[in-house]
Amino acid sequence: MIRLLVFLVISGCLGSVPVCAQNAISLPDITNYSRQQYLAGSQNWHMTQHEDGTMFFANNEGLLSFDGVNWHTIALPNRSKLRSVASDEHGRIYAGGEDEFGYFDADASGQLLYHSFVPKLPKAERNLSDIWNIAIIGDKVFFRSAAKIIVLTGNRFNIYHPRSHWRFMGQSNQVAYAQDLEQGLLRFVNGNWETFLAPGDLPMDCLITDMVTLNADSTLITTFNHGCFLLRGSRVTAWNSPGLDLAAAGNIYKAVEIRNNRIALATSMGGLFVIDNKGELLQQFGLKEGLQNTNIRSVFLDDRNNLWLGLDDGIDCITINNAIRHISPDRNNPGSGYAAIRFHNNLYLGTSTGLFSIPVDSYSDLSLVKGDFKKVKASSGQVWGLANINNRLFMAHHEGGFLVENEKAVPLFTERTEGFWNFWPMQSVFPSSTIAGGNYAGIFRLTFTRNRVEPAGRLTGFTESSRFIVVEQPGTLFTSHPLKGVFRLASNDNNETVIKKFGREDGVNSELNNAIFRVKGRITLATEDGLLEYDSATGKFLPSTLLQPYFKCKQISYLREDEEGNIWFTQGKEVGVLDMQGEQPAVIYFPELRNKFVRGFEHIYPVDRNNILIGGDKGFYLIDYQAYKAGRHPLRVRISSVTCSNGAQDSIFFGGFALSDSMQGRTIAYDFNSLRINYAGLLYGQPNNVEYSFMLEGYDQGWSPWTNNHTKEFTNLREGTYTFHVKARNNLGRESAVSCLSFTISPPWYRHWIARTIYVLITGLLFYFIYRRLVNKFIEQQQKYEQEQKQMLYLHQLELDKNEKEIIKLRNEKLEVDIKLKNSELASTAMHLVQKSEMLNSIKSELTKLLKKLDVDKEQEETKKIFRLLTDEAKVDKDWDQFSGHFDNVHSDFLKLVKEKHPQLSATDLKLCAYLRMNLTTKEIAQLMNISVRGVEIARYRLRKKLELATEVNLVSYFVDFAPSIN
């Protein structure tokens, strides 16, 4: 509390010492990073920068990294606060926390992994407490806790204990220093700590916080509670100045040397103080200047001269050497900037709250001007324009027109008028005898005679608001209204105003959003359709042959030419310049100023070739244009990470570090063939100045268009070898070197060479099986065909057989009919023979009777003769032969076959067989054989014996079936 009161008292006292306590009028841009942005702990104790440009912070929650786009945190194994961090030239990042110290290094996938040194210490020395400092000097790394300093040389650890406790450790001129409360300031020499400053050489209870090398024989020593000291050789002296005293009152916690022999002092209560090598305060940064808080835990200058502040809550980045700086004439009540002019070694800035001035003398770099702006008396309110006409300073104000004299605004008009936009000389000679003033309701004329400015009345007939005026020639001028069009006003011989309004027939297609300027001596009109130029020969506006090739049809809202011939402009939310100094004119945009000005009321004032003032939404922006163009540091781009995904989970393929040859060509499983690649251009504090172009070799046909996106996703990549190329470009058109990462996506298992081999084998087998199947099918079909042919032949044969059977049946039927007929005939014949026999027998019987009755021998002889004729056997045999022939014809040579089979049969037996075959009755057979029935039965019996037939065999059936059995 006492320290805070002392700080407030000194701050108040120094307010009366303006020379020593004044700030520069311009402030660099400050980028605030809150813990809500970087998603880690509040306090940031130390900082370092990796060899690839990445920033690392010792944060309460671990190692915090930042590449300008991406934040990432890695916790220590014991989840303790990280108190210190340092990076060596090989990219190894040493870290110290609570009871933990070690280093981070990249693994095979480019991810940082932590390696602890604690297990390598003797067990008795592992109680470390907090490791507050790390210093890398040559091949040695020093780690400090309150109880011990550990020196790592190669793989060997040496531990040094203090007499009381170690309060500080730092380095100067590649020598390590440490403070012991009882021994004073010690220096590390030949492996030992030697007393360099005795305890009495510094104030009692003096806590050294940092050491900064000023030159070969001078070192700045900062303390937490006793200010600053200069160390020259072994002699130390207090270094006091009002600025240093103010910084000391805020408790100096850290210090770092910055460019141009300046030193930044970070305090725990007062923010940041920048001093020169004489101890004079150059700049103070606090809450008003844009810091998140004034309790600064660490300070670091990166390789691009950006100043990083590790705060008690957050991180700030001050682009302390940036060519664009901010000027706020009234920091307590910042207003928008509308007008600026350098006049009589004073810089005047007109804002929405009034007109402010500050002496600038002969400063070639306005950012170095120190002091406080003073408000011009009677200028409160909206200032619209400033003009140096006839060596007099005119101010256009919402309250009217004024001359600025002796730092006071003097009204031009005795009566109250409408507000004025600005003033213009009507003649190109000096002094101009007529001055035009554009105001809210027309144009006023003023005369300049005998160094006096007198109102000459309003231009008659014209009452439109006239913020943009260009004088064509004495008595003739152009004006434009953003809503009502473009006008040309000329005075005739009768001092009357001739007004011409330009329309479509004159080349002006719209009345809206027109603004008129003079560029390169040409009357130029900015329209919605592009830039036009007035052609006095035709009295029309034509497309600008000078500017249209560079701006095409873009809508430009403001134009201003500087003394070098460069053309400054605004376009939408952008500020830019058409630089005419190179071999080819180039359009340069300033992304740092995007949307930071009041659109519709833009103002650009080129003070000289170096200093360009631009009205902003809060004050002004000062561009050191030549320094901005120089761009001393080359742009770098890094691949921050590559994440693979299979849709359900992500896997880190590349962690962003150690992009060496060993990282190239690694393989990604096909399941993870969707990639998200993050990359960043290491341009801290100016992320909007960077554009990226990329190409995935093996996938893209060429480089992509430039874009502000710093992430690219590829989905469902096929197997193969790819190389991702990315490059960055700043707004000056300068490109970085290309950063590349090669990788191979393995084929899916079903497209692996083994699988392909299996496919070939399977395909071969498949073709073989198909071939075999086709062959078998052909054989089956052939067999089927043959079977069908056989079947058809069989069916055909069956049909033939059927037909033949039908024929045979018919034939048999016919034969049966014939047989029946023959049998009928045979039966008839047999019956005829029977009848004949009966008749002959009757005749014989009658003749026998007659012979008995005849007595005459002659007659008896004649009768016997007849009787002999009737009993003639030859006649009977002849009849039998004829019968048997007919019988065999009918019954398929039955008798012949029977005789062949049974040669023992007699002719009588054959007759009996034939009669039995004809199924004649016994009586009928008896008659035919001319024997008795009993004789037939005896004949049948004898026949059976000759045939050797069993008794159960029917003799008739045997002869009926005899013919088929023979066949």
Neighbour tally for 483: CB within 10 Å: 10
Range 637-751: architecture per CATH: Sandwich (2.60)
Q: What is the pLDDT of residue 954?
A: 84
What's the whole-number mean pLDDT along residues 694-707?
94
Name the nearest CA neighbour of 883 among 929, 935, 844, 943.
929
User: What's the pLDDT at 840?
Assistant: 65
Residue 183 in tokens: 């021994």
More confident residue, 1 or 84: 84
| DSSP alpha helix (H) spans, 241-359 | 242-249
- How sure is the predictor about 826, in pLDDT bands with cuts at 50, 70 and 90? low
- Is the dihedral angle over the CA atoms 943, 946, 949, 950 positive or is it negative? positive
CA separation (Å) from 751 to 317, 670, 717, 718, 719? 51, 10, 14, 10, 9
Query: What's at 358, amino acid-wise?
Result: I
Q: What are phi and psi of 325, to 5 degrees?
A: -130, 160
Residue 623 confidence (pLDDT): 96
Q: Find tokens 């037909």 and name the residue.
A: 803
CA nearest to 633, candidates 679, 670, 684, 672: 684
Percent of the chain with pLDDT over 90: 59
Q: Is the pLDDT of residue 878 over 60?
A: no
How is residue 64 written in tokens?
């915090």
Could you report the per-residue pLDDT of 278-321, keeping only the tens digit for each? 889 989 999 988 999 999 999 999 998 999 999 999 999 999 88
Residues 714-725, mean pLDDT to the nearest whole number: 94
What local confidence, expressed as pLDDT, does residue 4 receive?
43
Question: What's the pLDDT tens digit per position in 224-269?
Answer: 999 999 999 889 999 999 989 999 999 999 999 998 789 999 999 9
The model's pLDDT over 106-125, given as tens digits with 9 standing for 90+, comes to 988 889 999 999 999 999 99
pLDDT single digits (tens) 519-573: 999 999 999 999 999 999 999 999 999 998 999 888 999 999 999 999 999 999 9
Task: Answer whether residue 761 shows pLDDT above 70.
Answer: yes
Q: Determine the Cα–Cα distance for residues 915 and 909; give it in Å rounded to an integer.
A: 10
Give pLDDT, residue 364.
81
Q: Is 7 helix (H, G, I), strand (E, B) or coil?
A: helix
> If you average pLDDT over residues 618-639, what whole number do you get?
89
The amino acid present at 899, given as its one-letter code, is K
- Say what the pLDDT of residue 407 is: 95
Confidence tier at 5 by pLDDT (50, 70, 90): very low
Q: Which helix (H) or strand (E) is 496 found in, with range? A: none
**What gap in Å lies between CA 431 and CA 530, rounded to an integer?**
35
Lowest pLDDT segment from 218-222, 233-237, 662-666 = 662-666
Sequential DSSP letters for 933-960: HHHHHHHHHHHHHHHT--TTS-HHHHHH
Q: How far apart are CA 844 and CA 930, in angstroms?
A: 13
Asked if residue 868 has pLDDT above 80, the reply is no
Cα distance between residue 177 and residue 828, in whole Å: 165
Q: What CATH number has the domain spanning 873-967? A: 1.10.10
Helices 857-870 and 753-853, packing angle to 10 deg: 170
Gap between the terminal Cα atoms of the chain: 149
Total number of residues shown for the chain:
967
Q: What is the pTM of this model?
A: 0.75
Q: What is the pLDDT of residue 873?
A: 46
Interatomic CA distance for residues 576 and 569, integer angstroms: 5
Relative orientation angle of helices 753-853 and 873-890, to the nearest 10 degrees? 160
Binning pLDDT at 50, 70 and 90, where does residue 9 land?
very low
Nearest to 56 by CA among 107, 98, 103: 103
Q: pLDDT tens across 831-845, in order? A: 566 556 666 667 777
Q: How crowded is residue 954: how many other Cβ atoms within 10 Å of its Cβ?
A: 12
Q: pLDDT tens across 435-474, in order?
A: 999 999 999 999 999 889 999 989 988 999 999 999 999 8
Please report, for the chain, the start and end positions of each structural domain, with discontinuous segments joined by +.
637-751, 774-871, 873-967
Q: Strands 666-668 and 739-745, how do they pair?
A: parallel
Per-residue pLDDT of 395-425, as tens digits, reads 999 999 999 999 999 999 988 889 999 999 9
Q: Which of 561, 559, 575 is nearest to 514 (CA)?
A: 559
CB 692 within 8 A of CB 654: no
- DSSP, collapsed to helix, strand or coil, labels residue 438 as strand
Question: Which of 361, 351, 362 has the alpha carbon at shortest distance from 328?
Answer: 351
Give 664's pLDDT tier (boundaries 50, 70, 90). Answer: confident
pLDDT band at 966 (very low <50, low <70, confident <90, very high): very low
pLDDT for residue 506 is more than 90: yes
3-state secondary structure 31-90: EEECHHHHCCCCCEEEEEECCCCCEEEEECCEEEEECCCCEEEECCCCCCCEEEEEECCC
pLDDT over 70, % of the chain: 90
Would you state the pLDDT for residue 370? Answer: 86
For residue 680, pLDDT over 70 is answered with yes
pLDDT surpassing 50 at residue 97: yes
462 neighbors 472 (Cβ within 8 angstroms): no
User: 295 with 309: CB under 8 angstroms?
Assistant: no
What mean pLDDT, rounded, does the chain reach?
88
By the 10 Å C-beta count (0-12 exposed, 13-18 middle, 19+ buried), 371 is classed as: middle
* Cis-peptide into 18, omega within 30 deg: no
> Average pLDDT of 54-60?
97
Q: Give the integer Cα–Cα distance in Å for 539 and 761.
A: 86
Q: What is the pLDDT confidence band of residue 884, given thresholds at 50, 70 and 90?
A: confident
**Mean pLDDT calculated for residue range 134-143:** 96
Confidence band (pLDDT; 50, 70, 90) for 686? confident
Q: Is the pLDDT of residue 869 over 70?
A: no
Residue 29 has pLDDT above 80, yes or no: yes
The pairs formed by 102-105 with CB atoms below 8 angstroms and a separation of 24 or more are 104/63, 104/74, 105/658
Residue type at 863 in one-letter notation: T
